Structure 1
C-alpha cells in the first residue's frame, strides 16, 4: 500500500489557556505571587502576566495528507510560531511521505540553525514534530506509544504541581510541587516566609508525601543553597530549576552543595540533545525535565532520553499532557509523571490543556492508563476560535 504524502501544513493561533497554560484569567494560582527572574523589580513581582508571560498564546499545527488524513498538535508559540511554521518549516514536510519524520526534523533544525537552536523556533519545530507523530498514528491507526516501543508499565502515576499539595494528597497524587514565592530580592524575610510555608505544608501532608520546590529560574547559587539546606529539615525531595537555564556551572555547584539525599532537577527551558548533554556531562542535576513541546518534539525527546539513560539519569518531562504521557509509558527511566493542576485554586483535577482538547485524559487517584486511540488520542475542540494569521 502506498505511503500517504503530506500535502498541507497549516498553523493557527488561539488564546485563553490550552498549551499556553499561563494564558489564564485573573486570580489563577499559576499567576499569583510566584518568584521569577523579574522578581527583582517590585513592579513585576506579584503577577507573572505583568511582565508578559502570556503574550504568545497557543500554536496549533495541523498536517494533512493527500488522502485526507490529518494530524495535529499544540504548543506555545502564538503568531510568531505560526509565521515560522508557515513561512519556513512547511517546505521541509510538504511532498514527503508521512513516515519520513527523522529527515524532516533534521532539515527543520538545520534549516533554522542560523536564527534558531532553541526558544520559539524549537517550540515551532516541536509543534510540527508532534503533529507528524499524531498524523502517523492516524494513518497507521496506532497510538503513539505503540510506535515508539510500547508500554513498560500498566499505568502512569503522577505528582501534582499546584498551590495546594495538601489537596493533591487527598486526590491520590504521590507528591506535590509548589512554586517558590520569594527570591534573593526579598532577602532573609522572604526565605523565612518560604520555609514557614513549607513547614505548614509538611505538617499537613505527613512525612511520606513528596514535597518539592519549583523556583522557575529565579534564584542564585548562594540563595538556592541556603534554601535547600534549610528545607532539608522538612524533607524537601528536590529543588527545581533554581537557576537560569544557561548557568550550567551554577547548577553543577548547587548539586554539589545541596544536602545528601536531596535532588536537583532542571531542563524545562532547555532544548535539544546538545543542551541536555551539557547538563549530563557537567553533572548539573539528578532528573532531566524537558518539555516535549519546547525541546524539539518527540523525535528529539527520544534522543535526550537515550542520552540520559546512558548516564543513569531519570527523565520526567515537564507537564505537557498527552504529548508526554505517550513517551513516559514507554521509558524505564521515566518512572512517574507531572500533572499541572489547572483549576484556578488547584482544588480539583481538570484537563491540563482545557478547553482545547477533547478526550484529554486525567488521572484518577493519581493514576492513569494511556488511552488506546490512534495518534495522541485527542481531538481539537470545534468550539475554539482558531486564527490562521499566515499561509503559504
Structure 2
C-alpha cells in the first residue's frame, strides 16, 4: 500500500476557552489577582485579561491526506497563527508524504528563522506538528503513544493546578500548584500574604501533599529567593517560572539560593532544543516544563526530553491535555503529569480544552489508565458545533 500524501492544510480560529484557556468569562480563578510581569503597573494587577492575555484565541490546524483522513490540533495562536499556516508554511506540507514529519519540521523551522525561533511562530509550528502526528496515528489506526514507542507505565498520575489545592487533594491528586498572587511591587505586605496563603493551605492538606507556587515570570531574583526561603517551613515542593524566561543566569543563581530539597522549575515559555539546552547546561532548574503546543510539538519534544534525560532532569510538560498525556506515558523521565483545572472555582473536574475537543479524557481520582489513550491519533475530535473561522482560505 502506498503512503498517502498531504492534500490540503487548513487553519481556523476559535475564541472562548479551549486552547486559549485564559479566554474565560469574568470570575474565573485564572484571572483573579495573579502576580505577572505587568504587576509593576497597578492598573493591570487585578486581571490578566486587562493587559491582553486572552487576545490571541485558539488556532485550529487541519491536515487532510489523499486518502481522506484528517488530522487536527488546537493550540494558542489565533489569526496570526492562521496567517502563518496558510500563507507561509502550507507549502512545506501539501504534496509531502504523511510520514515526512521530521523533514517538514526542519523546513518550517528554518524557513521562519528570520522572524521566528520562539513565540507565536513556534506555537504555530507546534500546532502543525501535532496535527501531523494525529493524522499519522489515524492513518495507521494507532494512538500517538504507540507511535512514540509505547507506554512505560500502566497509568498516569497527576498534580492539579488551580486556586484550591485542598480540593485537589480530596479529588485524589498527588499535589496542588497555586498561582502566586502578589509580586515584588506589592512589597512586604504582599510577600507576607503569599506566605500566609501557603501556610493556610498546608494546614488544610497536611504534611505529605505537594504544594507548589506558579510565579508566571513575575519575580526578580531577590524576591524569589526570599519567597523560597520563607516558604521552606511550609514544605513548598517547588517554585515555578519565578523569573523572566530569558534570565538563564538568574535561574542558575536561584537554584543555588533555594533551601535544600526545594526544586526550581521552568520552561513553560521556552521553545526548541536550543532554548532548553541553555536551561539544562546552565543548571537553571530541576524540572523542565515545555508546553507541547508551544515548544515545537511532539517532534521537538522528543529531542528536548532526550537532552533532559542526559542531564538527569525531569520533564513534566505544562498543561496541554492529551497532547502531553500521550508523550508523558512513554517517557521514564516524565514520572507524573499536570492537570490544569479549568473549572471557574477549581472545585470540579472539567476537560482542559472544553468545549473545543470531543472525547477529551480527564483524570479519575488523580489517575488515568493508559488504556484510556488507546484511540487512533490523539483520540479526540474537533467540536464541529462551534463556529470555525478560516480567515485566510486558499
Query: Can you give the 5+ residue segments of structure 2 that lack an aligned partner in the other structure?
Result: none
Alpha-carbon separation, structure 2, partners of 1:371 and 1:359? 10
1:57 corresponding residue in structure 2: 57
2:245 corresponding residue in structure 1: 245
1:1-392 pair list within 5 angstroms: 1-369=1-369, 370-392=372-394
The total of aligned residue pairs comes to 392
Does the residue aligned with 1:39 lie in a helix, a strand or coil?
helix
Q: Deviations over 1:308-361 (max 9, x none)?
A: 001111000000000000000000000000000000000000001000001100
**Is the 1:87–1:391 Cα contact (8 Å) retained in structure 2?**
no
Query: Can you give the 5+ residue segments of structure 1 that lack an aligned partner in the other structure?
Result: none
Alpha-carbon separation, structure 1, partners of 2:387 and 2:209? 41
**Is the 2:326–2:373 Cα contact (8 Å) retained in structure 1?**
no
Q: Please give the TM-score of this superposition, normalised by the length of structure 2.
A: 0.99
Q: Deviations over 1:260-306 (max 9, x none)?
A: 00000000000000000000000000000000000000000000000
Alpha-carbon separation, structure 1, partners of 2:289 and 2:89? 26
Q: Which stretches of structure 1, 4 residues or more, deviate above 4 A after TM superposition? A: none
Deviation at 1:66? 1.0
Deviation at 1:371? 2.1
Does the residue aligned with 1:38 lie in a helix, a strand or coil?
helix
Alpha-carbon separation, structure 2, partners of 1:188 and 1:24? 31
Q: Please give the TM-score of this superposition, normalised by the length of structure 1.
A: 1.00
Alpha-carbon separation, structure 2, partners of 1:124 and 1:382? 21
Alpha-carbon separation, structure 1, partners of 2:252 and 2:313? 15
Alpha-carbon separation, structure 1, partners of 2:233 and 2:373? 40
**Is the 2:238–2:265 Cα contact (8 Å) retained in structure 1?**
yes
Q: Deviations over 1:163-186 (max 9, x none)?
A: 000000000000000000001001
Alpha-carbon separation, structure 2, partners of 1:254 and 1:40? 21
Alpha-carbon separation, structure 2, partners of 1:312 and 1:255? 15
Quote the RMSD (CA, aligned, Å).
0.4
